[in-house]
Amino acid sequence: MPKVTETHKRRRRQAILDAAEQIFLGKGYQSTTVDDIAVRSGLSVGALYRYFSGKSDILLTLMEDRLGRTPDLLERLTADAHDPWEQIGRCVDIFVLALRVRHPSTGRLLIVAWGEALQDSTVRDGLLRRFTGLVDYIRTVIQRGIASGKFRRDADAKVLASLLVCLADGVTLYWSANSSSLELQRIRTTVMSMVRAYLSPELA
């Protein structure tokens, strides 16, 4: 029997993930079966189980691949900005740009994950890890601004970071459902105005 190469394994794994995403978004997570995913990916159910332990494992992997890398992306794209105001602005810009250019299925996948998190603790934990990663990075940026005197010293970095992530996810949800009614640039300007009103030492 010929040896299965690592490239072939990666392609099979990706085929499963792509098939699962299409079906989750098309008919819903609860209505999707492992058989559905296997048929769409062109594999047998037995072959699918060589890569994933089940449906929730596939959803968690999709969340990590599509949603879980955002904290690393924010850090990489803001690392060369030494001014905390610029770092916060870039975080907001990256979020707005992601909504403009990324495939709309990314936001819809987040909606699917939220819905399933009510029933599945592993999915809920996955969303919590994503949320915590985003909050931790933005909190660090705010804390640097406080330490440097650029931000007001009594600002609550964790609460503000949490609110910004919740706001971003809320906009993502609505954008996925009805993008034509949102003006992203005006949202960006308004968010930065609110952040400045809270963080500026001279406005404290």
- The string of DSSP codes covering 137-192 is HHHHHHHHHHHHTSS-TT--HHHHHHHHHHHHHHHHHHHHHHGGG--HHHHHHHHH
* pLDDT reported for residue 199: 96
Q: What is the pLDDT of residues 75-131, one digit of tens each?
A: 787 878 889 999 999 888 888 877 776 556 777 888 888 888 888 888 899 889 889
Q: What is the pLDDT of residues 134-182, one digit of tens each?
A: 999 999 999 999 999 999 999 999 999 999 999 988 888 888 777 667 7
Lowest-pLDDT range of 18-22, 105-109, 182-186: 105-109
* pLDDT reported for residue 1: 47
Provide the whole-model pTM: 0.82
Cβ(110)–Cβ(170) under 8 Å? no
Mean pLDDT of 29-40: 94
Q: How far apart are CA 172 and CA 175, in angstroms?
A: 5
Q: What is the pLDDT of residues 56-89, one digit of tens each?
A: 899 989 888 877 667 777 778 787 888 999 999 9
End-to-end, the C-alpha distance of the chain in Å comes to 72
For the chain, count helices (H), then strands (E). 10, 0
Q: Which domains does the chain have, with CATH numbers?
A: 6-55 (1.10.10.60), 67-203 (1.10.357.10)
